Amino acid sequence: FVNGKFCKDPKLANAEDFFYSGLNIPRNTSNPVGSTVTPVNVAQILGLNTLGISIVRIDYAPYGGLNPPHTHPRATEILVVLEGTLYVGFVTSNTDNRLITKVLNPGDVFVFPVGLIHFQFNIGNTKAVAFAGLSSQNPGVITIANAVFGSNPPINPDVLTKAFQLDKNIVTYLQSKFWWDNN
């Protein structure tokens, strides 16, 4: 066991421990955010343990498919667009909170630095597809809206009312909603 994962004796490791299949398959994006992330990390490829890298495929529905604002607590992401047109961005940390954005077309590459809030939004009329590398075998993902308004149990609404400058009834309404997890 290393990092809480079972580690094979290297003499017994075989090709299956370093292999995953199916990233060519388009995924269904008929969900509330219009996107689906297909992760390939240490949970899918045992041999990635301790090696510090993983990848994902992301499918976006035509106009409006959104990989909503989220962070990876343990990884920088480098994304390359295969199909479609994405408006992407990240926000720098306090006190500037600068938004850095770019419209990406096929073959374009963009970097989202570790821990920063970022998103991708399909602004084209066709579906979009991207691959992304992440600098951890277990990058983690925190979808901001889900963590803030969809936690289990809910955060005290007084906290969110004050933090987000929202009416308390809007906060409790948001907390009653279903928050789709696209991962």
Which residues in the 77-96 window bind a second copy by CB under 8 A? Answer: 77-78, 80-82, 87, 89, 91-96
| 3 state DSSP class of 121 | strand
> Residue with structure tokens 């938004």?
99
Of 43, 162, 168, 169, the one binding a second copy (CB under 8 A) is 162
Annotated binding residue 77? yes
Annotated binding residue 67? yes
Rg (CA), the chain: 18
- 28 in contact with a second copy (CB under 8 A): no
- 169 in contact with a second copy (CB under 8 A): no
Of 106, 124, 157, 172, the one binding a second copy (CB under 8 A) is 106
**Do the beta carbons of residue 133 and residue 57 sit within 8 Å?**
no
Size of the site for a second copy (CB under 8 A): 108
Site for a second copy in 31-70 (CB under 8 A): 32-34, 40, 45, 47-48, 51-55, 64, 66, 68-69
Question: What is the 8-class DSSP label of residue 48?
Answer: G
- The CA angle 176-181-182, to the nearest 5 degrees, is 145
Q: Are strands 35-40 and 66-71 parallel, antiparallel or unpaired?
A: unpaired
- Which residue ranges are tagged as binding site? 67, 70, 72, 77, 118
